[in-house]
C-alpha cells in the first residue's frame, strides 16, 4: 500500500552538511519527496510536535537540541513507507544501529541522532499536519 511518512533531517545532520547524502539514500530506495521545507523549531513548535514526550526526563535536552539549528522536513511517499523508512533510519540507541542506516552514518548520539521518521500512519498524519498543514 502506498503510504506517506514525515521525515526530519535533524539539526546536527543539517549543520554537518549531510542533507544531500541523506536525500540520495532516500531516493535510491524509492522514496518520492512530496513536500520539503527547511525551518527551525522554537519552544512552542517543539512542545506541539513532541507532546507525547513533554513529561519525560529527556524532553528539555530534546527541545534544546531541536531548537539549536535548522531542520529539513519532508513528506515521503512509497509502498510501505512507514516501515521502510524506520528500517532505513535505524535504531535510536547507537549500539543497536545497523551499519549503513542513516542514524549509524549521521547520528552523533541518542538525541542528536540525525533523523526522525513517523512511527505509524496515525503519527504520520499528525506530524505532517503540524509541519505542512494542507500544503503537502
- Residue 129: what pLDDT? 97
pLDDT for residue 136 = 52
Residue 18 is a catalytic residue: no
What nine digits make up the cell of 56? 519525560
Report the C-alpha gap between 75 and 7 in whole angstroms. Answer: 6
pLDDT on residue 45: 98
pLDDT at 134 over 80: no
* Residues of the domain holding 126: 2-132
Can you give the pLDDT at residue 135? Answer: 54
| Mean predicted lDDT score pLDDT of the chain | 96
pLDDT tens string 31-88:
999 999 999 999 999 999 999 999 999 999 999 999 999 999 999 999 999 999 999 9
Report the pLDDT averaged over residues 19-27: 98
Q: Could you give the dihedral angle defined by the CA atoms of residues 92, 96, 99 and 101, in that order, rounded to the nearest 10 degrees?
A: -20
Residue 4 has pLDDT above 60, yes or no: yes
Q: Can you name the residues that pair with 38 across neighbouring β-strands?
A: 72
Active-site annotation holder among 18, 53, 83, 116: 116
> What's the domain count of the chain?
1
Reported as a single tens digit per residue, the pLDDT across 29-41 is 999 999 999 999 9
Segment 84-112 mean pLDDT = 96
Q: Read off the CATH number of the domain in which 69 is found.
A: 3.30.70.141
What percent of the chain stands above pLDDT 70?
A: 98
Strands 32-40 and 115-117: unpaired
Amino acid at each position: 500500500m502506498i503510504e506517506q511518512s514525515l521525515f526530519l533531517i535533524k539539526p546536527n545532520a543539517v549543520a554537518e552538511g549531510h542533507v544531500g547524502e541523506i536525500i540520495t539514500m532516500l531516493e535510491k530506495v524509492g522514496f518520492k519527496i512530496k513536500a520539503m521545507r527547511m525551518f527551525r523549531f522554537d519552544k512552542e513548535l517543539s512542545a506541539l510536535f513532541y507532546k507525547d514526550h513533554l513529561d519525560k526526563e529527556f524532553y528539555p535536552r530534546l527541545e534544546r537540541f531541536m531548537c539549536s539549528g535548522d531542520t529539513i522536513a519532508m513528506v515521503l511517499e512509497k509502498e510501505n513507507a512507514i516501515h521502510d523508512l524506520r528500517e532505513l533510519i535505524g535504531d535510536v540507541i547507537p549500539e543497536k544501529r545497523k551499519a549503513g542506516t542513516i542514524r549509524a552514518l549521521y547520528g552523533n548520539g541518542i538525541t542528536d541522532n540525525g533523523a526522525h521518521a513517523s512511527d505509524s500512519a496515525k503519527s504520520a498524519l499528525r506530524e505532517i499536519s503540524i509541519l505542512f498543514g494542507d500544503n503537502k
